[in-house]
Chain A
């Protein structure tokens, strides 16, 4: 079991993800610099938070064209487990692996605080360690986390069980209180909150452990 962690110029949660996986959970990881194409031997890929390419143009817009993400797209299309956290969620929407877009927070503030979430795990492989309706707390830290999509699209996502994480108190104006989305197959999860910052009991609780450990089976 090895998990790849994508590293762009401007990623800043790559080492947090490594600590959560290796330090807290004992799961080996491998950093994937944005120019590499070799995903061999990986069981899952995490696209971490940060400011890929300085958030130039739009969050995630440049990252979408990184060579490593062409491979990640094929990996996801073959059913490989892909997790996008924060900027990683923005990248997944820019890539079209998840629908909609993340936009500037309603009140314009960068928000950095614990967020209470409700899990509706559906078919999402990353969330099978949680009970439906369970409340968890993950930190959020974003300026552009307001999820937007067309109303008919939101209805389809809800009916398809793809809105797998919702805010209990919507911090940023996201439609439908969306905090995290799964693809229909359940192998791709994008979320704005940071589960990797909720894995070490000394720094912010351990609610995120079951998400990152879910692939151990």
Chain B
């Protein structure tokens, strides 16, 4: 899938003097905080959200990454 914004940015990288960039694609990072009973339930809800709302699978790929809040105490 052509990513014209990524291509324009790659060209700008060359003009900055960083000439070795062979691939640059631009996407989105979306931070979600979610209340759920357990991790499996959280993952299922996030997969639904990613597939049906946050991304359009026709033109976008997505993956989930779990971030631990820096100050959270383990439970």
Contacts and interface: CB of A to CB of B under 8 A. Distances in A.
B2 A106 contact: yes
Contacts of A58: 56
Interface residues of B, number: 10
10 contacts: A58-B56, A61-B56, A101-B58, A101-B59, A105-B4, A108-B5, A108-B8, A146-B2, A149-B58, A173-B4
Contacts of B58: 93, 99-101, 148-149
B54 A57 contact: yes
A103 B54 contact: no
Interface of A: 57-58, 61, 65, 93-94, 99-101, 103-108, 146, 148-149, 173
Interface string B1-38: 11011001000000000000000000000000000000
Interface in B32-75: 53-54, 56, 58-59
- Which 9 pairs show the lowest CB-CB distances between chains A and B? A101-B58, A101-B59, A108-B4, A104-B4, A106-B4, A103-B59, A101-B56, A148-B59, A58-B56
A99 B53 CA distance: 16
A58 B50 CA distance: 13
A58 B4 CA distance: 16
Given A93-B58, A101-B56, A101-B58, 10 more contacts: A61-B56, A99-B58, A100-B58, A103-B59, A105-B4, A106-B2, A106-B4, A108-B5, A149-B58, A173-B2
